[in-house]
């Protein structure tokens, strides 16, 4: 609540007090949130005050005479993506998050956030990056620089930009360097680093996290260089009523020969230099938190193993076509490609 105080004013404060408070926000969003004790009862902008002055309301009048009582707000774990998009489109820049009794819990700045997503995010950052040696002998792959920041920073910043406040990083190889990197808060958010005891694959160590707060969890490799739209990904996940969704990238195979169509040893046709189109795993997943209990304890287990396990339990597993750029930085050529792309961002 301490960081919200500059935006808060009591309902019995005077209009002149509100003007002074708004003046202190001159380089910020000029909006105050009016409280009656802890409960939010209205918003106040410089426009509200100008209209009050036109109506000859005195400066020593209380702000509750001129505040806007029909304000937009969200609740914690708000899952209505359409509602949030409409609020942004209406021009609201500061969006309050209220508790069940109307108490002000948080304020989201929609100028700096693309969305507000009620999910936890887990970045897997424990690998040794063997194929990128010698670059990864003394530096963990997620901390290799791409352009003006590290690989993992692009992903963390994108998560924060989409309003994801609960971010966890699974570490192992050279873990202390990643711990130090995220020791300080990032845009007011403390990233939670969790060290796995041993490398258990691309998803098993998610069970090491004790403080997952939301019902849905995003799990992704930390060495991806991508601009995936997490809001659209999550909206698709909800729309499909999925238990798990895997982001996928188009992958085509061009065969430079004529291919026989065979049946029982007989040629039934010829496809000349065909192209086969597939979707490849992008290493980014959305999962219902309750299903993580199905992951076996202390066992090497990959995300693809988990996907097949859910399918065997007849759960709803879908794919999300990823639009935008995506590079899995595994080899030197991938790293160089990411460096070149970063120059144009």
> What is the mean pLDDT of the segment spanning 148-176?
93
Summarize pLDDT for 293-324 with one digit per residue, the tens.
999 988 899 999 999 999 999 999 999 999 88
Question: Distance between the two ends of the chain, CA-based, in angstroms?
Answer: 35
Q: What share of the chain is helix, strand, coil (3-state, %, to 5)?
A: 30, 30, 40
Strands (E) across the chain are located at 8-10, 31-36, 39-45, 94-98, 104-109, 119-125, 145-146, 149-150, 166-171, 192-195, 216-221, 224-226, 244-254, 258-263, 266-272, 275-288, 317-321, 326-328
Note the pLDDT of residue 29: 85
What is the model's pLDDT at position 2?
54
Instruction: Give 40-45 contacts, CB < 8 A, sequence gap 24+.
Output: 40/71, 40/73, 40/96, 40/98, 40/102, 40/103, 40/104, 41/11, 41/67, 41/69, 41/102, 42/11, 42/67, 42/68, 42/69, 42/71, 43/67, 43/68, 43/71, 43/96, 44/9, 44/18, 44/68
**Phi-psi group of 163: left, alpha or beta (phi > 0 → left; psi -120 to 50 → alpha; rest → beta):** left
On average, the pLDDT of the chain sits at 90
The pLDDT of residue 113 is above 90: no
**What does the pLDDT average to over 229-238?**
95
pLDDT, residue 3, reads: 66
What average pLDDT does the segment 56-63 reach? 90
Hey, which of 103-112, 198-207, 232-241, 268-277 has the most confident mean pLDDT? 232-241
C-alpha–C-alpha distance, residues 29 and 38, integer Å:
22
**pLDDT score recorded for residue 191:** 93
| Residue 4 confidence (pLDDT) | 77
Q: What is the β-pairing status of strands 31-36 and 8-10?
A: parallel
Which region among 177-181, 185-189, 211-215, 279-283 has the lowest average model confidence (pLDDT)?
185-189
- Parallel/antiparallel/unpaired status of strands 275-288 and 224-226: unpaired
Name the more confident of 88 and 122. Answer: 122
3-class secondary structure per residue, 252-281:
EEECCCEEEEEECCEEEEEEECCEEEEEEE
Q: Please state which of the ranges 109-113, 267-271, 292-296 shows the lowest mean pLDDT.
A: 109-113
pLDDT at residue 1, as a whole number: 53
Average pLDDT (216-226) is 95
The pTM for the full model equals 0.85
Q: Alpha-carbon distance 119 to 288, whole Å?
A: 10
For residue 5, name the pLDDT band (cuts at 50, 70, 90). confident
What percent of the chain is predicted at pLDDT more than 70? 99
Spell out a b/e string for 308-319, using b for 16 or more CB atoms within 10 Å of the CB, else e: ebbeeeebebbb
What DSSP line would sit under 281-313, residue for residue? EEEEEEEEGGGGGGSPTTS---HHHHHHHHHHT
């Amino acid at each position: 609540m301490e960081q919200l105080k500059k935006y808060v004013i009591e309902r019995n404060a005077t209009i002149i007090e509100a003007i002074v408070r708004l003046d202190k926000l001159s380089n910020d969003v000029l909006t105050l949130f009016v409280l009656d004790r802890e409960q939010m009862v209205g918003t106040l902008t410089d426009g509200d005050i100008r209209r009050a002055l036109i109506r000859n309301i005195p400066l020593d009048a209380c702000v509750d005479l001129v505040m806007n009582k029909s304000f937009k707000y969200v609740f914690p774990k708000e899952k209505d993506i359409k509602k949030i998009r409409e609020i942004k489109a209406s021009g609201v820049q500061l969006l309050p998050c209220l508790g069940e009794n109307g108490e002000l819990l948080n304020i989201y700045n929609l100028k700096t956030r693309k969305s507000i997503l009620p999910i936890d995010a887990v970045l897997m950052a424990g690998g040794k990056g063997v194929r990128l040696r010698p670059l990864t002998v003394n530096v963990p792959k997620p901390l290799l620089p791409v352009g003006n920041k590290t690989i993992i920073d692009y992903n963390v910043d994108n998560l924060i930009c989409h309003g994801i406040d609960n971010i966890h990083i699974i570490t192992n190889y050279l873990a202390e360097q990643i711990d130090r990197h995220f020791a300080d808060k990032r845009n007011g958010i403390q990233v939670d680093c969790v060290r796995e005891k041993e490398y258990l694959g691309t998803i098993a160590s998610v069970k090491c996290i004790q403080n997952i707060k939301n019902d849905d969890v995003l799990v992704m490799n930390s060495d991806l260089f991508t601009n995936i739209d997490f809001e659209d990904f999550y909206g698709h996940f909800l729309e499909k009523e999925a238990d798990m969704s895997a982001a996928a990238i188009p992958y085509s195979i061009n065969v430079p020969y004529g291919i026989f169509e065979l049946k029982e040893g007989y040629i039934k046709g010829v496809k000349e230099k065909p192209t086969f189109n597939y979707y490849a795993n992008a290493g980014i997943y959305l999962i219902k938190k309750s299903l993580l209990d199905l992951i076996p304890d202390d066992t090497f287990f990959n995300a693809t193993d988990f996907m097949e396990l859910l399918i065997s339990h007849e759960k709803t597993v879908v794919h999300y076509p990823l639009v935008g750029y995506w590079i899995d930085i595994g080899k030197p050529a991938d790293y160089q490609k990411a460096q070149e792309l970063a120059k144009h961002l």
